[in-house]
Amino acid sequence: MKGSLVIVGFFALGCLTGLYNILPFNISETDISLYALCALMFSVGLSIGNDPQTIKNFRALNPRLIFLPIMTILGTLVGAALASIFLTNRTMTECMAVGSGFGYYSLSSIFITEYKGAELGTVALLSNITREIITLLAAPLLVRWFGNLAPISSGGATTMDTTLPIISRCSGQEFVVVSIFHGFVVDFSVPFLVTFFCSI
């Protein structure tokens, strides 16, 4: 939660900087964000490849629960497609690109800004932060209404870190391994799906 606040803080600070024209040059005309994005993805790759623990954890997984990330992705995309019916000024693929953030607000909003501009990027940031917050606050309700797997699906890409403690508390200790596995797979799908829905 503290990490999310710092991130929102940086976004807000940027908004103020842009609003009052504090920077001496126009940052959106430079390639800084593209290079930073490349550096970011390279570092993310390094940290995944360099960590032997992630793969080891998955040996303890109930094989039938391999389907959970697929259910999350399908459910999210169907939901986002249906949301586009109510949002007349957004296309179905734009809504699906925003939905494909799965709560991974930093990466998805950065990608969408790069491909579709800052307006949809802002929607992606707000939408995916809300997804994380809803999961954190509503996890007990989601368990009661939709069963023990629901907060994991709702948490999307965040279930291996920020929402893991609440899932462990509400769904039970035995769901920690599937939660980490689920977060890893969904996390990994974010750049692919976002790029895909931005390019069609």
Partner 1 sequence: MFTVILIMFAGIILGASLRKYRIKHINRLITILIWMLLFILGVEAGSNKDIINGLLTLGLEAVIITIATVLGSCIAAWSLWYVLYKRKKGAKA
Contacts of partner 1 in 35-54 (CB under 8 A): 36-52
Site string for partner 1, 123-162 (x = CB under 8 A): xxxxxx-xx--xx------x--xxxxxx-xxx-x------
Q: Could you tell me the smallest distance in angstroms from the CB atom of residue 165 to partner 1?
A: 18
Which whole-number Å values give the CA distances from 119 to 59, 94, 111, 112, 114, in the listed order? Answer: 42, 11, 12, 9, 11
Using CB under 8 A as the binding rule, whether residue 200 contacts partner 1 is answered as no
The answer to whether 60 and 177 have CB atoms below 8 angstroms apart is: yes
Does residue 180 contact residue 162 with C-beta atoms inside 8 Å? no
Name the residue type at position 40: L
Instruction: Output 60 or 130, the one with its CB closest to partner 1.
Output: 130
Q: Which CB, 59 or 85, lies closer to partner 1?
A: 85
Least distance to partner 1, CB of residue 154, Å: 5
156: Cα within 13 Å, side-chain hemisphere: 27
For position 7 contacting partner 1 by CB under 8 A, the verdict is yes
Report d(CA 76, CA 62) in Å as an integer. Answer: 23
Q: Work out whether 183 is an interface residue with partner 1 (CB under 8 A).
A: no
Measured from the CB atom, is 147 or 165 closer to partner 1? 147
> Does residue 98 belong to the site contacting partner 1 (CB under 8 A)?
yes
* Distance in angstroms (rounded) separating the CA atoms of residues 87 and 179: 32
